[in-house]
Amino acid sequence: MSAMIEQQRFNMVEQQVRPWDVHDPRVLAALGRVHREQFVADADRALAFVDIGLPLAHGESMMRPLIEGRLLQALALQATDSVLEIGTGSGFVTACLASLAREVLSVEIHADLAERASARLQNAAVSNAQVRIADALVGFEPGRSFDAIAVTGAVYQEPEQFRRWLQPGGRLFLIRGESPVLEAVLITRRQPQQFDEQSLFETDLPYLIHATPPKHFVL
């Protein structure tokens, strides 16, 4: 590992992520421990630590590092937690979640992205994350509930099943609304029918498939 890459990784954590109110030492350590450059396309490796959303196939993109940091911090993961990730993408957030929790089930609608992310996770020796090819919004049922759910693409409206998949005390991070001003929220299941919502920040992000806003017709 070159000294230049390690310096770029340090700068990403200390100059991008930490100043955006990410102070959890476990999250900062995870972002410094998981090698982000191994989860981007070879052509984009020089941009692995830049504060941009790197493009993936099918119009998807990796989240900016500072958004990844806020997501990980908001979920407040414990080492015993089970996590459902909706939208595997590159697999980088999957690896970070796996480094903080007991297990991760990640769902990706695009087979090529899922296969590529699985290979990257295997190469990074991540053994507690599983990637499943499925559409989390249509037809998918995990058959269990989770301590945390991380949604890595935007949704226009929150799908009702997301809350149903949370255990009591479970946390759901998602970004919802209408682009270009979307709201990141943390939803906590206090009781079977009681949920708290916390608004975290505004951002913009590509939508999950089947989660886009209705089309507006102009006469």
Q: Which tens digit of pLDDT belongs to each residue from 180-205?
A: 999 999 999 998 889 999 999 999 99
Return the structure tokens found at 155.
Answer: 């949704």
Q: What are the tens digits of pLDDT across the range 60-95?
A: 899 999 999 999 999 999 999 999 999 999 999 999
Length of the chain: 219
Half-sphere exposure of 22 (CA within 13 A, CB side): 27
| Residue 33: predicted pLDDT | 96
User: In 101-193, which residue ranges form alpha helices assigned H by DSSP?
Assistant: 111-123, 161-164
Residues 6+ apart with CB under 8 A from 105: 82, 83, 84, 85, 129, 130, 132, 142, 146
Return the structure tokens found at 217.
Answer: 């017709």
| Residue 207: predicted pLDDT | 94
CATH number attached to the domain at 3-203? 3.40.50.150
Residues 6+ apart with CB under 8 A from 82: 101, 102, 103, 104, 105, 144, 146, 147, 148
Flag whether the pTM goes above 0.85.
yes
Beta bridge partners of 132: 107
Residue with tokens 């990410």: 22
Burial, 15: exposed, middle or buried (Cβ in 10 Å; 0-12, 13-18, 19+)?
exposed
Domain ranges in the chain are 3-203
| Residue 214: predicted pLDDT | 87
CA–CA distance, 31 with 8 (Å, rounded to integer):
12
Q: Are the C-beta atoms of residues 93 and 71 closer than 8 Å to each other?
A: yes
How many Cβ atoms are within 10 Å of 209's Cβ, its own excluded?
Answer: 17
